[in-house]
Amino acid sequence: MTNILVTGGAGYIGSHACKALARSGYTPITYDNLSTGWQDAVKFGPFEQGDLRDRARLDDVFAAYKPAAVMHFAALSQVGEAMAQPGKYWSNNVAGSLALIEAAVAAGCMRFVFSSTCATYGEHDNVVLDENTPQHPLNAYGASKRAIEDILRDFEAAHGLNHVIFRYFNVAGADPETEVGEFHQPETHLVPLLLDAIDGKREGLTVFGTDYDTPDGTCIRDYVHVCDLVDAHILGLNWLEQDNGSRVFNLGTGFGFSVMDVIEKSRTVTNRAVPFTIGPRRAGDCTRLVSGSTRAEKELGWSPKMSTLETMIGDAWRWHQTGSYQK
């Protein structure tokens, strides 16, 4: 079986990617330092603990497994933390990714799938974002991801490193079979925060602003099911295996749901009340962020099949009830 090195494979999206890889006939090799990931989530292939900035450790892993490609998910991703501690993000995300890319090229592993983000675009309020939208990130998280995209392009020009970059929007949901799911400490994502509030694990949810120019006054975001998302990564890997060249793809549904939409659907899916309060707007929150993903559909043949609110919340709720990972 073909080995694929999955950095951040013990995290939310990475663990789902490992399951998708195993289901597709690959052997995922998880490389993770467990700073935000969970060893309990590593269920579909070997686990190697290590930091991205440890070049010697990376070289050993490449030599041991000889992966045919890298799927790179490992990153710090909290916007508030990135605003307060930018150096941490440049060190972990950029320096770590550079070490990984250099190790891959040195090992002759010339196919690279990178998990980027719509945060590289910055603030383009009420615009459907496509791959050609100008990138003006507002914080060190988005800036670090854009920098890694630039590094990949430079290494393609210098060394022939073929890569696929995925910029995606709000990821939600969980494995329908509840083998892996979403669990962060601290939690910052809307759906698990809602489910914690419904389940009494937190006092309630705060809705930040109800005076936006939307039908119900709350912000609208594009949500994509994590299983749809990782299916795109398998297609991206296939794209590289077919020598189609390097490419950037947005991953989203092309439409959005408001915060109140998510709250109401959570109530109907769980059949429980959703405790929430109204708070003031947060600085930097755009009214509407929606992805234009027609390139992924036309060129990769990708279309989100599970990205309805009912499915995303229902799968997340089933996972939520199974418990949590342990360090």
Annotated catalytic residues are 141
CA 277, distance to chain mean position in Å, is 28
List the structure tokens of 182.
Answer: 């979403």
Q: Which DSSP string corresponds to 302-316?
A: ---SS-SHHHHHHHH
Beta carbons of 70 and 7 less than 8 angstroms apart: yes
Whole-angstrom Cα distance, residue 144 to residue 196? Answer: 30
Whole-angstrom Cα distance, residue 119 to residue 206? Answer: 22
**264-268 long-range Cβ contacts below 8 angstroms, 24+ apart:** 265/309, 265/310, 265/313, 266/191, 266/194, 266/195, 266/198, 266/313, 266/317, 268/310
Cβ neighbour number for residue 112 with a 10 Å cutoff = 27
